[in-house]
């Protein structure tokens, strides 16, 4: 991703501020390849997540699905525009956002997706929404789980002049196996849970929430036979005729 001088300056500033607020352990970000296509599957704790990850991953070609309400902010809106984020309307089938994400993957970008759909606030993992399953199957792109934790009490830490820990863990890449026929609601939820367990595996036990029972972490629809930055299946998988079916 080619960054303008202004973008580089802004990213440098945000990176500096983030290190004043948090003690960022970014060592595992070296596992992220130089380019996509790749879906980065993430948890979502609070508003610090996206800026910190963005400025530490750039200039790798990263974009993200971000709630459209973000563009109402006179500060965050321009920032996410600069980072080429994809606005998405939550609570509905936003086909335009879905297509933009597929196009980004097709053009060799990495797309960050938080299946929880909203901030947890406390860092405890919530149920995931199934939209990520459709994106992964239709694009054929591999997935890479990435989590962060420890900064959920950053306000309290800041009051006591402490930097909140911002721990980052990156897992192993995987790809969803082809699902034949109609991808019904129950099956979408099952595949989504398998993806969420890949996030839970990277988190300390106290953050795993409804995915704490690792004996339920099935891998029926997940394949770890993936080489990043290799072949990319651009052919769409034949699944349900509508994202809402």
pLDDT tens readout for residues 185-218: 899 999 999 999 999 999 999 999 999 999 999 9
pLDDT band at 1 (very low <50, low <70, confident <90, very high): low
The answer to whether residue 91 scores a pLDDT higher than 90 is no
The answer to whether residue 233 scores a pLDDT higher than 60 is no
pLDDT tens per residue, range 145-185: 999 999 999 999 999 999 999 999 999 999 998 776 678 88
Amino acid 229: pLDDT: 62
The answer to whether residue 16 scores a pLDDT higher than 90 is yes
Amino acid 203: pLDDT: 98
Domain positions in the chain: 26-223
Amino acid 3: pLDDT: 73
- pTM to 2 decimal places: 0.89
The answer to whether residue 242 scores a pLDDT higher than 80 is no
Say how far apart CA 153 and CA 104 lie, in whole Å: 34
pLDDT mean over 70-85: 89
pLDDT tens per residue, range 3-13: 778 888 989 99
The answer to whether residue 75 scores a pLDDT higher than 70 is yes
**Maximum average pLDDT range among 91-95, 187-191, 197-201, 231-235:** 197-201
């Amino acid at each position: 991703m080619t960054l303008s001088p202004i973008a580089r300056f802004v990213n440098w500033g945000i990176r500096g501020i983030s290190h004043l607020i948090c003690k960022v352990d970014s060592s595992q970000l070296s596992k992220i390849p130089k380019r996509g296509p790749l879906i980065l599957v993430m948890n979502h704790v609070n508003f610090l997540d996206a800026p910190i990850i963005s400025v530490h991953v750039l200039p790798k070609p990263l974009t993200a699905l971000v709630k459209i309400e973000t563009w109402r902010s006179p500060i965050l809106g321009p920032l996410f525009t600069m980072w080429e984020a994809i606005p998405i309307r939550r609570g509905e089938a936003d086909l335009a956002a879905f297509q933009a994400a597929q196009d980004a993957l097709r053009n060799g970008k990495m797309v960050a997706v938080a299946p929880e759909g909203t901030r947890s606030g406390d860092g405890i993992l919530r149920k995931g929404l199934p939209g990520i399953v459709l994106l992964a199957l239709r694009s054929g792109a591999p997935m890479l789980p990435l989590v962060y934790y420890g900064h959920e009490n950053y306000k309290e830490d800041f009051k006591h002049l402490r930097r909140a820990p911002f721990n980052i863990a990156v897992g192993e890449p995987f790809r969803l196996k082809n699902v034949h026929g109609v991808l019904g609601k129950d099956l979408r939820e099952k595949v989504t849970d398998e993806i969420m367990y890949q996030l839970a595996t990277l988190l300390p036990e106290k953050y795993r929430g409804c995915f704490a029972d690792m004996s339920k972490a099935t891998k029926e629809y997940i394949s770890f036979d993936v080489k990043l930055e290799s072949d990319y299946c651009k052919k769409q998988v034949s699944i349900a005729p509508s994202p809402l079916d």
